[in-house]
A and B are shown apart, each in its own frame.
Chain A
Amino acid sequence: MAPELLQRVRDAVAPLVERFDLSHGMPVLTVAPGRLLETVRRLKEDLRFDLFLDVTAVDWPGEEQRFEVVYHFYSTQHRVRLRVKTRVAEGEPLVDSLVPLYGSAGYTERECHDMFGIGFRGNPDLRPVLLYEGFVGHPLRKDYPKDREQPLVPTRTREGQL
């Protein structure tokens, strides 16, 4: 990322973020959940990070703020990427939805809700997208047993039985 742009990003988000790091030259912003929407709005409208790439989460079992929700953005104008992270607790894993800013966030938020059980306040449709109705739990959480299956079709029990 060009130094001037990096400085612009730093100045624009400085009052909102807790940390501002660089990872392999890419800015990494750590924000409180309450300031997420405002930070991203600023990134989109003032700094032209116009493409929402993905949202996923990282499970840190045993830590007080157990889930780290990670967003990636891209600027088609500057051709640079940017990462935003925020931490939420297990008891209330809830962040604001980015659907009002980026329509494409809807599906990836659904996936993140499937896999980690993160709630997205304001997402109008959090039905399962990769999982199916009736699936209990969130398979990418570290406490989900890796071989626990939830079959939809009863298993055949003896030879010749369909």
Chain B
Amino acid sequence: MDSRPIPSGRSAAFEYISTRKDELVGWARKFSLFPYPFVTACCAMEFMAVSATPYDTDRFGAALPRFSPRQSDLLMVVGTITHKQAPVLRKVYEQMCEPKWVMAFGACAVSGGFYQNYATLQGIDQIIPVDIYIPGCPPRPETVIDGIMKLQDRIARSKHVILTKDF
């Protein structure tokens, strides 16, 4: 162990810290969500409201929408998805790099909402895995923020594989 005295003018605090790798990576990832807004319907209005200044998802590091799935890690499915759109949504999901999370925003993305007919997909979890469901028609901004925070908790608590054996 180095027992030399600390040079004056430099603080001893936080020269190094100890933490678990998953906690550290999870902490970093949960505050740098790059959403890809897959916005199809009236929930978009609420998405704008929650993104704008009064509610401000930027506080959660989830502000900057990336309009390329390859640069994003949070797929926000905002609005009704039809069967005709389903292949597009599936392709967008497949183009996103790991790690990635999916948010079903609003009743239609969660379950098809009040549409049960020839056209409407009965919830996006029929074709892609979903991490967080936000109910409401449309959801209140508070509900969306609660959903983002729950997703952040989930990210912070999960395993974060950085190097795999195939790397």
Is the pair A162, B129 in contact by a Cβ cutoff of 8 Å? Answer: yes
Is the pair B83, A152 in contact by a Cβ cutoff of 8 Å? Answer: yes
Chain B residues positioned under 8 Å from A24 (CB to CB): none
- Stretch in A83-91, A118-126, A153-161 touching the partner: A153-161
Q: Is A131 among interface residues, defined by CB-CB distance under 8 A?
A: yes
Q: Give the A-B pair count, Cβ closer than 8 A.
A: 47
Q: Is A92 among interface residues, defined by CB-CB distance under 8 A?
A: no
Knowing A155-B127, A156-B127 touch, does A148 contact B86 (C-beta < 8 A)?
Answer: no
Tier of interface size on chain A: 10 to 19
- Stretch in B21-29, B36-44, B69-77, B117-125 touching the partner: B117-125
Is the pair A149, B87 in contact by a Cβ cutoff of 8 Å? Answer: no
Provide the bound-state CA to CA distance between A153 and B129, in Å. 14
Contact digits for A129-146, partner B, Cβ 8 Å, 1 yes 0 no: 011100000010000101
Q: Is B154 among interface residues, defined by CB-CB distance under 8 A?
A: no
Is the pair B116, A151 in contact by a Cβ cutoff of 8 Å? Answer: no
Nearest 4 A/B pairs, CB to CB: A139-B118, A153-B86, A153-B127, A155-B126
Given A146-B117, A151-B86: 7 more A-B contacts, CB < 8 Å: A132-B84, A139-B117, A149-B120, A150-B118, A151-B121, A155-B127, A162-B129
